[in-house]
Amino acid sequence: MSRIAVGYLDKTDVSLAKKIAHKWQLAYIGDSASVTKHPNLLFLLQVNFQELELIKLDEPKLGGIKVDFVDGAVAHRRKFGGGRGQDIAKAIGLKHGFTPHVLDATAGLGRDSFVLATLGCTVTMKERMPIVAALLENGLERAKLNSEVSDIASRMSLVHAATIEELAFTQQPDVIYLDPMYPHREKSAAVKKEMRVFQSLVGEDLDADDLLEPALALAKYRVVVKRPSYAPPLNDKKPSTSIKMKKNRFDVYVNQAIPKNN
């Protein structure tokens, strides 16, 4: 964390940049231009007109990574993604009379969480990386202020925690969703960029297999794991069923059947 600092691009963002630095216990360098005075830094969390973005300082051409629940790919999927007929909806057991509370225990940049919230689910996003959690929090706050998506964002909440075991729920989540970092063979330049930056930030995700058992212990009805189609099941545990897509699949582990008239 000593290699990461928070800065701002415009003076209107000073108070937000300070607030983010204080909350996540990061160094604050003021104006982003002053990053040249801090050669030890590898990453900059930059507030750019209220949008928080992560910049890899030795690869400035990559541009900033931010959480955006309003525009871009997320907006396209919200409008044209296939609604309750899409595979992720089937995987979590979404059906008439059952709209689950989902714990997305590997939230990342929150794209799948947003899809689930778009489908009507209440979603708790868990993210263990403070930097990613800071990006998520900023994206969620901006979404709540946007009239187009504020109702969806209101169904989403964020918890920063290292493990599933340390989470406390008044009501256990119906479904736990896992999408551990894996070398997905994505052709998308944006995804490749994010993976590269995150892997240089957090290293390889070597403990993904450890997620499954705690998830199964906590989930009321099922655990859903997103895997690349070529990857083995998580922890080599055979799922109850799988939903296969072109490049990925959803492995579904059933704890108990979803009630017919919930």
58 belongs to an annotated ligand binding site = no
128 belongs to an annotated ligand binding site = yes
Q: Is residue 152 part of a domain?
A: yes
User: Do both 131 and 246 map to the same domain?
Assistant: yes
User: Do both 176 and 76 map to the same domain?
Assistant: yes
Domain holding 8: CATH number? 3.40.1630
Q: Is residue 259 part of a domain?
A: no
Please give the radius of gyration of the chain, using alpha carbons only, rounded to the nearest integer: 19
111 belongs to an annotated ligand binding site = yes
User: Do both 39 and 80 map to the same domain?
Assistant: no
User: Do both 79 and 133 map to the same domain?
Assistant: yes
Domain holding 215: CATH number? 3.40.50.150
Sheet holding 122-127, edge to edge: 156-160, 122-127, 101-104, 175-178, 222-228, 248-254, 241-244
- Measured at the alpha carbon of residue 10, what is the angle toward residues 6 and 14, in degrees to the nearest 5? 55
* Count of beta carbons in the 10 Å neighbourhood of residue 166: 11
Task: Decide if 215 contacts 182 (C-beta within 8 A).
Answer: no
CA distance 177 to 105: 6
User: Do both 237 and 197 map to the same domain?
Assistant: yes
Q: Is residue 261 part of a domain?
A: no
Number of domains in the chain: 2
User: Do both 86 and 176 map to the same domain?
Assistant: yes
**Range of the structural domain that residue 32 is part of:** 4-62
Last residue within a domain, chosen from 40, 62, 84: 62
Can you give the pLDDT of all 262 residues of the chain as single tens digits?
679 999 999 999 999 999 999 999 999 999 999 999 999 999 999 999 999 999 999 888 888 999 999 886 676 666 666 677 789 999 999 988 889 999 999 998 999 999 999 999 999 999 998 999 999 999 999 999 999 999 999 999 999 998 899 888 888 999 999 998 765 555 556 666 777 787 777 766 667 889 999 999 999 999 999 999 999 999 999 999 999 998 899 999 999 999 876 4
112 belongs to an annotated ligand binding site = yes
User: Do both 90 and 210 map to the same domain?
Assistant: yes
User: Do both 86 and 48 map to the same domain?
Assistant: no
CA distance 235 to 136: 28
Beta bridge pairs of residue 46: 7, 53
User: Do both 54 and 76 map to the same domain?
Assistant: no
155 belongs to an annotated ligand binding site = no
User: Do both 200 and 230 map to the same domain?
Assistant: yes
Q: Is residue 93 part of a domain?
A: yes
Residue 153 one-letter amino acid: A
User: Do both 56 and 89 map to the same domain?
Assistant: no
Task: Decide if 24 contacts 32 (C-beta within 8 A).
Answer: no
User: Do both 89 and 39 map to the same domain?
Assistant: no
